[in-house]
Chains A and B, each alone.
Chain A
Amino acid sequence: MAQTRNPGDRLPGDIVFETRDLRIGAIQHDGSEIRIVKGVDFKVRRGEVVALIGESGSGKTTISLSALGYTKPGLSFTGGEALLLGQDVTKMTTDELRPLRGISVAYLAQSAAATFNPSIRINEQVTEAPVLHGTKTQAEANAKALDLYRALELPDPDTIGERYPHQVSGGQLQRLMAAMALCGDPELLVLDEPTTALDVTTQIEVLKAFKQVIQEEGAAAIYVTHDLAVVAQIADRVIVLYNGEIKEAGPVHELITNPVHPYTRRLMAAIRPMPEAGQGEDSSDEHLRADPALAAKGIDAGYGVIGSNGKAAIPVLRDVDVAIERGKTVGIIGESGCGKSTLARVFAGLLPASDGEIHLDGERLSPDLAGRTREQLRKVQFVYQMADTALNPRQRIRDILGRPIDFYRTAEGMTRRQRVDQLLEMVELPLQFADRYPHELSGGQKQRVNLARALAANPEIVLCDEVTSALDTIVAANVIALLTRLQRETGVSFVFISHDLSTVSSFADEIVVLYAGMVAEQGPTDRVLSPPFHPYTRLLVSSVPEPRVGWLEEAAQTREAKAGASGSVQLTETGCPFFARCPVAIAGTCDVVDPPKLNDGAGHIIDCHRSLEELGG
């Protein structure tokens, strides 16, 4: 119908999937309905990638699953149609759906690790669907899988299928999952946040592989994400969802360059662009540097039993020096597994360092909790990533916030109740929340309570461990704004740990770049983010997706991206741990000798064997 009405459609191809006034809801015991998807219309054509974007709770995953004729437990189709190749899957029985699933439509989940069975070889799992459905013989499926491994640029495509899932890296497993989905030549691919759990340097490769293979296979795809920058790289059309309704829809460049609906504009505004080189104030006040609130020197730490050589069985950090100035924010960034959370736990005393010293206000801190005084404990507070698990589900907010007030006696002339109210005001929550339980709050609100609990101690230093990573873009932006305001008002220092360079760079005064347990580079934010770069920082900076079309292709061409494509993140005994991935490594030096600290005189230190001049270009 649409074709006849609109012959000038710029996107040719048959309609693979279409929803017409699709409604999905949860029917309660008393017959009332909680509406999750409130009448959604869209089409996906062959060769087209349609992105569904919105925050959690917007219904984007629920809508994408409707393409498989599936609803999450407790939900059901309450109206409208979802036409897959012209058939309404909302009215089909499981038996009728079975031949479609895995063949006509395939699903890619967020976590590849959870999708693969750890005890079955990869190839067997990749080829399972078409063989099971009888659309391909095992030999045909194997040939198809091999083609896909090559197209997805997996290492050793001939033999990778013989491995078990734990024998490949996370990014490779994510690509193998794409191979699994594509092996049955599906008409429609549903991708649910397939790169969200990956590090930026890995995300690039996976996105590139997905994009290429979708184009080659000519499949249609629904791409679910909350990340507009990722959408810009991979989607042809974007549908913005809020609360189960479409707020704006259109071609990707239209939406990114010219967002009209206020919600879309807010989404765009929440993406903080990487600061340009040289932007921001120079915060290298040497007199402050002389008297930091917290200074760590030569920290070694790890997990497991500490052996006779004084090292932990599984070393994580080696020789880390970090200083945190009063009233400033230090951002610690690095990929997962680089030891950034471990460093925060060492500061907090939760994991005693096996070597090195920590000084708080000039006093030497005991490495473990038991050796620290209550006053020292009060000054260093820890905020956890997951507010869900960090707040006791059986305590009311009043008790959660009240306990540190009583414990550290920080009410200072106020009653406990007044102090709790004051804290709720500080984190911009309504006062009546004091009598609620954590599960009655949304994710962002819980994170605010989590933060308020740390502030209740009147701390000098708050260690924020990935506090915005689990939040949606807009909510995370609000939390960052809150942190900035709190710092201005209370003069507290923040240690902000994140894998997301753009978030950190937007408000940290200083940045510490960790790689495999060692500091690669540190210094004032604007200096770290401008040349000269440590080779790893350069890779990180160039890997942060930008919300514009065509960025992916440009980034993939750079030397850094090619170098960063493989290699393990392992702490080495000697030398620079980045050696294996470094494009400018000097064999025989970098892997044997610890890198010297190159100081440009303004507090900017790069640990590298190359000279500052060489790193500048």
Chain B
Amino acid sequence: MSNETLTPGGAHPDMLGGMTDPEKTGHFVAPYDEGVSFDELPDSAPKERFRLSLTGWIGAIIVVFWLLVAVFGPFIAPWGENDLPFPDDYSEFQSPRAGAWLGTDVEDRDILSRIVFGAGRTIGIAFAATILAYVLGVVLGIGAAVSGPKVDMVMSRINDAFLSLPTIMLGLVVVAAVGSSIPVLICTAGLIYATVVFRLARALGMEIMVMDFVEAAKARGEGRWWIITREIWPNAAMPLITDFGLRLIYVILFISSLSFLGLGVQPPQADWGSMVRENLGALQYGESVFPVLAPALSIATLTVAINLVVDDVSAQAGGRLSKRL
């Protein structure tokens, strides 16, 4: 299109062949209007709106499905958490049948209903623990980043000491000592994962602290509170939110592992990890694999689905962040 405008008469312009100036100089000038201003060109191509990829969509659908189950599940579950659908039938680990679409477990309870109740408990505990981890980790981490090298050194070394402990072992010791209950689980998981969040928040805070706009705020005479809340936090929020999804996965696996080891959610309450443990016998004696497979698959689908969404978001946010900063 622009090609036609290049040469009078619409001929193909030939820079070196000298068609525009057949004398000998080969001096080519594009046609122009006198008085046209040449505005500064935009810095970068317009940014594309955020879009989920196909795998991102699949992940999002699965995550939303599990969230709906967790919230509304108890109202639509065919049976109560500890109801016996077939009180007269004493055989455990029954195969799927009418009235118990995923079969029954070691105590003859309906697996589908327990998965539904377990969803709320597993996701709820993990969510609460992750939020706790974030509140602690972000406040302390950004606090360390802005507090100068000495305070940072002390806080970071204490954090490193906690990080060096194996998470499951630490969790087992705490729960064994205090006794297991849902608040204890939330606090334990929250504290353990706060160490990881601390590192991330501190690193992000450090990175933003050295940006010119933070230095400009300091040179203006701004106090620490302004710098944390107005300069650092808005820029750290996006990568932290991305990491939140990832951390949620780890906490789900952690809670499930504790439950599997018998120190998490206590029977008769349902939880995916403890369901696997309760029904382990099905693998040896039962005719059905569903008592173990169903909760295990629930954990797997939820964590993988969260991961798919986080992958998409972080690819986008990461790209944007690095461009912005």
Taking a contact as CB atoms under 8 Å apart, the answer to whether B29 and A260 are in contact is: yes
Please tell me the size bucket of the interface on B: 35 or more
Are the C-beta atoms of A45 and B211 separated by less than 8 Å? no
In the assembled complex, the CB of B10 is this many whole angstroms from the nearest CB of chain A, namely 13
Once A34-B46, A254-B25 are accepted as A-B contacts, the answer to whether A350 and B218 lie under 8 Å apart by CB is yes
Contacts of B46 in A (CB 8 A): 34
Interchain CA distance A404-B213 in the complex, whole Å: 13
Q: How many Å from the CB of B306 to the closest CB on chain A?
A: 24
A47 to chain B, nearest CB (A): 13
Find residues 1-53 in chain A having any chain B CB closer than 8 Å to their own CB. 1-2, 5-6, 8-11, 21, 26, 28-29, 34, 36, 38-39, 41-43, 45
Kindly state the separation between the CA atoms of A39 and B12 in the bound complex, as whole angstroms.
Answer: 11
Q: Is the CB of A389 within 8 A of B2?
A: no
Q: How far is the CA of A6 from the CA of B213 in the complex (A)?
A: 58
- Contact-residue size bin, chain A (C-beta under 8 Å from the other chain): 35 or more
CA distance A5 to B14 in the complex (A): 10
B232 to chain A, nearest CB (A): 10
Instruction: Report which of A262, A374, A392 forms a contact with B234, defined as CB distance below 8 A.
Output: A392
With contact pairs A39-B1, A250-B27 given, residues A384 and B216 touching in the complex (Cβ less than 8 Å): yes
B21-61 Cβ-contact flags toward A at 8 Å (1 or 0): 11011111110101010101111011010010000000000
- Of the listed residues A36, A262, A457, A474, the one surrounded by the most CB atoms of chain B closer than 10 A to its CB is A262
Q: Which residues of B contact A260 (CB under 8 A)?
A: 27, 29
Instruction: Check B16 against A246 for contact (C-beta < 8 Å).
Output: no
Q: Is B107 located at the chain interface by the 8 A CB criterion?
A: no
A263 CB–B CB distance under 8 Å: yes
* Cβ-based interface call for B17 (8 A): yes
Q: Counting CB contacts under 8 A, is B6 at the interface? A: yes
Chain A positions 507-549 with a Cβ under 8 Å from a chain B Cβ? none
What sequence of 0s and 1s flags, for each residue 308-345 of chain A, a beta carbon within 8 Å of any chain B beta carbon? 00000000000000000000000000000000000000
Flag if B324 contacts A369 (CB, 8 Å). Answer: no
Task: Determine if A77 is an interface residue (Cβ-Cβ < 8 Å).
Answer: no
Check if B15 is an interface residue, CB within 8 A of chain A: yes
Is B28 within 8 A of A248, CB to CB? Answer: yes
Contacts of B40 in A (CB 8 A): 55, 442-445, 472, 474-475
Number of A-B contacts (CB under 8 A): 169
Q: Is the interface of A mostly helix, strand, loop or mixed?
A: mixed
Decide if A394 is an interface residue (CB 8 Å cutoff). Answer: yes
Is A567's beta carbon under 8 Å from chain B?
A: no
Cβ contact within 8 Å between B219 and A382: yes
Q: How far is the CB of B323 from chain A (nearest CB, A)?
A: 8
Tell which of A6, A21, A247, A444 touches B22, judged by Cβ atoms closer than 8 Å. A6
Q: Cα distance A551–B231 when bound, in Å? A: 49
Say if the beta carbon of A485 comes within 8 Å of chain B. no
A31 to chain B, nearest CB (A): 13
B18 on interface, CB distance cutoff 8 Å: yes
B residues 252-278 with Cβ under 8 Å of A?
none
Q: B296 to chain A: closest CB distance in Å? A: 37
A36 to B230, alpha carbons, bound, how many Å? 37
Q: Does B325 contact A (CB under 8 A)?
A: yes
B88 at the interface (CB under 8 A from A): no
Contact of B15 with A56 in the complex, beta carbons under 8 Å: no
Residues of B within 8 A of A381 (CB): 219
Say how far B33's CB is from chain A's closest CB, in angstroms: 9
Q: In this assembly, does A436 line the interface, its C-beta being within 8 Å of a C-beta of chain B?
A: no
Given contact pairs A249-B28, A393-B235, A39 touches B3 in the complex (Cβ within 8 A): yes
Which residue of chain B has the shortest Cβ distance to A59 in the bound complex?
B41
* A208-258 contacts to B (CB < 8 Å): 237, 239, 242-251, 254-255, 258
Q: Chain B interface (Cβ within 8 Å of chain A)?
A: 1-3, 6, 12-19, 21-22, 24-30, 32, 34, 36, 38, 40-43, 45-46, 48, 51, 211-213, 215-216, 218-222, 230-231, 234-235, 323-325
A sample of 7 inter-chain contacts (CB < 8 A) reads A11-B26, A34-B45, A45-B16, A250-B26, A348-B219, A392-B234, A407-B220
Q: A42-B15, A394-B234, A404-B220 are in contact. List 9 more A-B contacts (CB 8 A).
A: A10-B24, A29-B51, A39-B6, A242-B41, A262-B34, A374-B221, A393-B325, A444-B40, A475-B40
**Which 9 A-B residue pairings sit nearest by Cβ, starting from the closest?**
A57-B41, A250-B27, A2-B17, A394-B234, A393-B324, A390-B212, A39-B3, A38-B2, A249-B28
